[in-house]
């Protein structure tokens, strides 16, 4: 059953009574008035879906009454009742947007059918408006995919709103939460006064909408400060629409549109269209803001990381010179035959600490080299036994201090690997020093190698504490050690395995670990074997 409100104006009481009774029986909510002036007053008091009026009435004609009603209620339909008709009257009625005519005399059924057709036409128009609203929303969604620039997105939202509603001007404000203000993100409308670039929450219409989260529709001329509205007395007062841009119920901005006195006020369909557009715009703008914030945060973190790397690189280089002097003179003192036993003991402790510091500095420099992408690879045929022998001197003091044994179990005829000799030393040095740290006193460390196709699989085995299966994927992370207690006990920065893995990957190889708690660990990595010109491996 219908529930629309219908306003009827006719100066003949019998016609008015029959019309009201007929519409009540159909479920409508009619109100009858005797003339045009009374119809305008009633329409200001109560919104009506349809205005049915006689054309010729004393005082104010039906067409004039409808013209005034349309000025402040543009969605009200018009249906004209007339006992005569002229071409001029018909043209004027069409110009005002009258939807139907009924000629006197008419019956109740004819009136009800005409009203039903007019209301059905409006329903179809509203459905069409909803479909129209999807087009700018699709365009906005495309803009969201195409750009993450907040300023460009705000400008496109304003442009869409003006274009789809034929508004004279549009402004889009966004909330600045730290300052409790709105700032102007985009605006359009050259003939309109430029809005203030910043407003306090609660200040003016836009500030009030942002503060309450409720839309405001203004019909009439705005006061000078824009904080209130007075209804205009002219025939075609301007109108304004101000809606919040909300995400999860929280206002993030406001969009304000205005029409000039020469334009029809905002219709219900336009109001609905802007509501849909505001919902899509809010999500798009919030995503753009989040993206911008993340991008700025990333850029800041990248800058801080660069400064950190530069500091580490500079500090490591500056420390190497004095450290080299300590190791050189400490070695001279220890090799001096005139030195007593206490001096040799103290010097040995100094040299062991200096060797550990030297390894740490090398780790810092190697890590900086990997991060900067400045790892220069100069591969050449490199016999594995020679590479192992070159890393033993820096580890000798650490092995002696823990009374550990290090051995290499390599098969006869092992082909060379095709690797950068310096990078291979870094890989072996880090794997072996890691094994020494986490293997108890008297433990064993073994290096093995096996050719597999075009690769050489090299492994370092120890009889250390082992690594739980749940943590084996993390041992190659920077600064990670199996437990904080071990880090404190064994020292180091937790960089060795990460650096070794990075150097292996530079060669196109891979690294992995196999381990059992309480039994020991084995770290494996692959490097390409050296192939001769005819594809045969050269023997060492």
Q: State how far the Cα of 423 lies from the Cα of 403, in Å rounded to an integer.
A: 28
In terms of Cα–Cα distance, which of 284, 287, 286, 290 is closest to 136? 284
The three-class DSSP label of residue 409 is: strand
CATH architecture of 316-371: Orthogonal Bundle (1.10)
Residue 74's alpha-carbon distances to 46, 67, 271, in angstroms, are 14, 10, 12
Cβ distance 444 to 451 under 8 Å?
no
Q: Which two tokens stand for residue 172?
A: 């889009």
- 50 touches 26 (CB < 8 A): no
* 293 closest CA partner among 303, 301, 282, 304: 301
In 261-399 the beta strands, taken as DSSP E runs, fall at 380-382
Residue with tokens 């442009």, as numbered in its chain: 159
- CA–CA dist 163, 274 (Å, integer): 11
Burial class (CB in 10 A: 0-12, 13-18, 19+), 162: middle
What gap in Å lies between CA 349 and CA 343, rounded to an integer?
10
Task: Write phi, then psi, for 380 (nearest 5 degrees).
Answer: -160, 160
- Residue 191 is predicted with a pLDDT of 52
Q: Where in the chain is the domain with CATH 3.30.565.10?
A: 375-528
CATH architecture classification, 5-127 = 3-Layer(aba) Sandwich (3.40)
DSSP state of 416: P
Residue 346: count of CB within 10 angstroms of its CB: 14
The DSSP annotation for 204-235 comes to HHHHHHHHH---EEEESEEPTTSS-EE---SS
pLDDT 10s per residue in the chain (540 long)?
457 899 999 988 988 898 899 999 988 999 999 999 999 999 999 889 889 888 888 889 888 888 888 888 877 888 887 766 555 666 666 666 676 677 777 788 888 888 888 888 777 776 776 666 666 666 666 665 666 788 888 888 888 888 888 888 899 999 998 888 899 999 888 554 456 688 888 888 888 999 998 888 887 544 444 333 332 333 434 688 899 999 888 899 999 998 877 777 787 777 878 888 888 888 888 888 888 888 888 888 888 877 877 777 777 777 777 878 888 888 887 777 677 878 878 887 888 778 767 767 776 777 666 666 666 788 999 999 999 999 998 888 889 889 999 999 999 889 999 999 988 998 999 899 989 988 999 999 999 999 999 999 999 999 998 999 888 888 888 766 655 444 445 555 567 888 889 889 989 999 999 999 989 999 999 999 998 764 444 443
- Class level of CATH domain 375-528: alpha beta
- Number of residues that make up the chain: 540
Q: Which residues contact 387 (CB under 8 A, 6 or more apart)?
A: 421, 424, 425, 428
Q: Decide: 225 and 188 in contact? Cβ < 8 Å.
A: no
Give the whole-angstrom CA distance, residue 72 versus residue 2.
24
End-to-end CA distance of the chain: 99
The pLDDT assigned to 457 comes to 96
d(CA 55, CA 325): 111
Task: Give the CA radius of gyration of the chain.
Answer: 43
Q: CA distances (Å), 2 to each of 115, 124, 234, 293, in order? A: 11, 16, 34, 52
Give the Cβ contact number of residue 504 at 10 Å.
23
With contact defined as beta carbons under 8 Å apart, do 257 and 240 qualify? yes
Rounded distance between C-alpha atoms, residue 10 and residue 113, angstroms: 19
Architecture (CATH level 2) of domain 147-294: 2-Layer Sandwich (3.30)
Domain with CATH 3.30.450.40 in the chain: 147-294
Cis peptide before 105 (omega within 30 of 0): yes
Question: What is the rounded distance in angstroms from the CA atom of residue 440 to the CA atom of residue 401?
Answer: 11
pLDDT of amino acid 94: 61
* 3-state SS, residue 256: strand
Contact at 8 Å (CB) between 360 and 390? no
Tokens (6 digits) for 427 = 């890989």
Q: Which residues contact 369 (CB under 8 A, 6 or more apart)?
A: 375
Rounded to whole angstroms, the Cα distance separating 327 from 56 reads 115
CA proximity to 418, closest of 384, 382, 376, 453: 382
Residues 6+ apart with CB under 8 A from 332: none
Instruction: Compute the C-alpha angle 70/71/75, nearest 5°.
Output: 40
Sheet holding 455-462, edge to edge: 405-409, 444-452, 455-462, 520-528, 511-516
Backbone angles phi, psi at 9, to 5 degrees: -125, 120
Q: Tell me, what's the pLDDT at 47?
A: 86
Helix axes 268-335, 341-371, angle to 10 degrees: 150
């Amino acid at each position: 059953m219908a529930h629309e409100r219908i306003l009827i104006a006719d100066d003949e009481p019998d016609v008015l009574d029959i019309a009201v009774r007929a519409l009540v029986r159909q479920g409508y909510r009619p109100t009858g008035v005797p003339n045009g002036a009374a119809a305008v007053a009633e329409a200001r008091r109560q919104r009506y879906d349809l205005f049915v009026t006689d054309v010729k009435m004393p005082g104010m004609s039906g067409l004039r009454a409808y013209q005034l009603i349309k000025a402040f209620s543009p969605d009200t339909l018009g249906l004209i009742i007339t006992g005569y008709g002229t071409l001029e009257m018909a043209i004027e009625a069409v110009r005002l947007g009258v939807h139907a005519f009924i000629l006197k005399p008419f019956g109740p059924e004819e009136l009800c059918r005409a009203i039903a057709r007019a209301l059905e036409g409006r329903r179809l128009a509203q459905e069409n408006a909803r479909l129209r609203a999807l087009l700018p929303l699709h365009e906005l969604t495309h803009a969201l995919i195409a750009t993450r620039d907040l300023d460009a997105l705000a400008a496109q939202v304003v442009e869409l709103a003006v274009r789809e509603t034929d508004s004279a001007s549009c402004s889009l404000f966004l909330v600045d939460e730290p300052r409790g203000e709105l700032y102007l993100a985009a605006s359009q409308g050259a003939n309109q006064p430029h809005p203030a670039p910043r407003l306090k929450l609660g200040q003016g219409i836009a500030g009030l909408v942002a503060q309450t989260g409720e839309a405001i529709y203004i019909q009439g001329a705005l006061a000078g400060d824009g904080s209130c509205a007075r209804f205009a007395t002219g025939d075609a007062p301007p109108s304004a629409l101000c809606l919040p841009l909300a995400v999860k119920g929280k206002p993030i901005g406001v969009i304000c549109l205005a029409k000039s006195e020469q334009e029809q006020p905002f219709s219900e369909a336009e109001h609905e269209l802007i509501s849909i557009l505001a919902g899509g715009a809010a999500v798009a703008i919030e995503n753009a803001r989040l993206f911008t914030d993340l991008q700025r945060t990333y850029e800041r973190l990248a800058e801080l990381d660069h400064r950190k790397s530069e500091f580490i690189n500079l500090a490591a280089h500056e420390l190497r010179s004095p450290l080299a002097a300590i190791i050189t003179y400490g070695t001279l003192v220890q090799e001096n035959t005139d030195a007593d036993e206490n001096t040799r003991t103290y010097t040995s402790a100094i040299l062991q600490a200096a060797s550990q510091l030297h390894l740490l500095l090398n780790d810092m420099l190697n890590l900086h080299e990997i991060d900067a992408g400045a790892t220069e690879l100069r591969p050449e045929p490199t016999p594995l036994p020679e590479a192992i022998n070159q890393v033993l001197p820096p580890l000798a003091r650490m092995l002696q201090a823990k009374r550990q044994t290090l051995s290499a179990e390599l098969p006869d005829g092992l082909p060379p690997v095709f690797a950068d000799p310096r990078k291979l030393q870094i890989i072996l040095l880090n794997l072996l020093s890691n094994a020494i740290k986490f293997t108890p006193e008297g433990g064993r460390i073994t290096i093995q190698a096996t050719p597999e196709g075009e690769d050489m699989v090299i492994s370092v085995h120890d009889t250390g504490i082992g690594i739980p299966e749940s943590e084996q994927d993390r041992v190659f992370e920077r600064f990670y050690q199996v437990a904080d207690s071990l880090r404190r006990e064994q020292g180091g920065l937790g960089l060795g395995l990460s650096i070794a893995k990075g150097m292996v990957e530079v060669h196109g190889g891979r690294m992995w670990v196999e381990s059992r708690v309480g039994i020991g660990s084995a770290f494996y990595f692959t490097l390409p074997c050296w192939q001769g010109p005819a594809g045969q491996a050269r023997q060492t």
